[in-house]
Chains A and B, each alone.
Chain A
Amino acid sequence: DIQMTQSPSSLSASVGDRVTFTCRASQSISNYLNWYQQKPGKAPKLLIYGASSLQSGVPSRFSGSGSGTDFTLTISSLQPEDFATYYCQQSYSTLSWTFGQGTKVEVK
């Protein structure tokens, strides 16, 4: 099974900060990597698919990069509504997915 490891587990930041967090796969997954945002009590929301493609309606301050085993999600200027938990997910193995453990972005 493909394991996904996110770092850090949490980070503290302020509105306006540029924040970057990472996701590492246990084997190469090409660009079969998606990012989701989840707020408390809500279902996850897709932000990025295919490592770098922005989902329709998602603000352009979100961007993704990477290929193979190492991926990053960047928020260029953190907004109040961005305080949430972010999960990466590999879909390299069709119908057999795994999520990272999440990165929680908290108010500094």
Chain B
Amino acid sequence: EVQLLESGGGLVQPGGSLRLSCATSGFTFNSYAMSWVRQAPGKGLEWVSGISGGGTNTDYADSVEGRFTISRDNSKNTLYLQMNSLRAEDTALYYCAKERAVSGIYFVDYWGQGTLVTVSS
């Protein structure tokens, strides 16, 4: 059974930092790209960042470029998101997402339950 368990969320002041983790099990972690997707309270889904299975390729939404860093430890089956220079608009539920491809079409087939990040003074 595939499981994605996020942790590391919490309350942080503007300008502060947090590191989110996503512990995974039930699949061959290094064979799949992973993403972080967030959802501000009462708002829609926003893709934040993605990383290839080997960790060599990454990309970021413009809204977090230069402030957030995605990484993975394939020996620990864990995905990370280092968030620096946090802003009030980064307040959201952050989902860890496992990607899958069928005939070259990529999509999320499993989601974590989310970890809440609140940026406020």
Which residues of A line the B interface, CB within 8 A? 1, 31-32, 34, 36, 38, 43-44, 46, 49-50, 53, 55, 85, 87, 89, 91, 94-102
Number of A-B contacts (CB under 8 A): 68
Query: Which of the listed residues A1, A32, A43 has the most CB atoms from chain B within 10 Å of its own CB?
Result: A43
CB<8 Å pairs between A and B, sample of 20 = A31-B105, A32-B106, A34-B107, A34-B108, A36-B108, A38-B45, A43-B113, A44-B95, A53-B102, A55-B109, A87-B45, A89-B45, A89-B47, A89-B107, A95-B50, A95-B57, A96-B47, A96-B59, A99-B44, A99-B46
Chain A residues with Cβ below 8 Å from B47 are 89, 96-99
Question: B45 touching A99 by the CB < 8 A rule?
Answer: yes
Chain B residue nearest to A31 in the complex (CB): B105
Q: CB distance B51 to A95 under 8 Å?
A: yes
Q: Hey, which chain A residues are within 8 Å of B24, CB to CB?
A: none
The size class of the interface chain B forms with chain A is 20 to 34
A50 to B109, CA, bound (A): 13
Asked whether, in the complex, the Cβ of A91 is within 8 Å of the Cβ of B45, the reply is no
